[in-house]
């Protein structure tokens, strides 16, 4: 995907070069690319999560199930000049070692946050898109991930990253479960900044 975008940009520049655009059009094009590629206030929301964290987690197989508990550590860092937040996690889940990597960015053109998540419990990539509610300090997204059990093979979810304060945040994920019943909380992670 990144390579395709780079090819598109290079092709666009090449097309402009071949048609020898006037200075005004070239300046307009460069301004558009600069606005698209410059991190802004939405990226500062992501940078507020940068640091080392410890977490405890609970996950539920159904709305009335007893939660399974886990714990671990996470490291959040901004990459590519402050354009994306990378989230590396190590811990345990469902009694097994667990590793995961997340990437979240804000697309200046779409005006939305994009999230990718992949981990050691599968071979698929979860994808979400969302917005930030500054009143509640919550990044909300919806998306889907691959499910090895459901016939439909994909499962929809919605999630909330709540920035409680500089040293505390929570992540909650909601879905309908394997029976396609009412939505319930499937996972909750409580993060505390590590000293």
Give per-residue pLDDT as tens, 96-153. 899 999 999 999 999 999 999 999 999 999 999 999 999 999 999 999 998 887 766 7
Average pLDDT for the chain: 89
List, as one string, the DSSP characters of 38-78: S--HHHHHHHTT-EEEEEEEEE-SSTTSPPEEEEEEEEEEE
Give per-residue pLDDT as tens, 3-22. 555 555 555 656 555 555 68
Residue holding tokens 């500089």?
A: 166
pTM: 0.84
Give per-residue pLDDT as tens, 39-84. 999 999 999 999 999 999 999 988 889 999 999 999 999 999 999 9
pLDDT of residue 195: 75
């Amino acid at each position: 995907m990144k390579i395709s975008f780079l090819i598109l940009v290079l092709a666009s520049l090449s097309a402009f070069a071949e048609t020898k655009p006037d200075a005004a059009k070239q300046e307009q094009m460069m301004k558009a690319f600069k606005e698209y590629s410059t991190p802004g206030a939405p990226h500062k929301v992501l940078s507020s999560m940068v640091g080392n964290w410890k977490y405890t987690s609970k996950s539920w197989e159904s709305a009335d199930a007893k939660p399974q508990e886990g714990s671990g550590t996470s490291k959040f860092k901004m990459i590519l000049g402050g354009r994306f937040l990378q989230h590396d996690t190590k811990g345990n889940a469902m009694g097994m070692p667990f590793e995961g990597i997340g990437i979240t960015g804000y697309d200046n053109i779409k005006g939305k946050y994009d999230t990718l998540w992949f981990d050691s419990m599968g071979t698929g990539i979860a994808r979400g898109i969302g917005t930030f509610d500054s009143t509640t300090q919550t990044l909300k997204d919806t998306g889907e991930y691959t499910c090895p059990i459901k016939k439909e093979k994909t499962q929809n979810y919605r999630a909330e990253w709540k920035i409680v304060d500089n040293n505390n945040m929570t992540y909650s994920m909601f879905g309908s479960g394997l029976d396609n019943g009412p939505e319930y909380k499937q996972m909750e992670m409580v993060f505390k900044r590590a000293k």
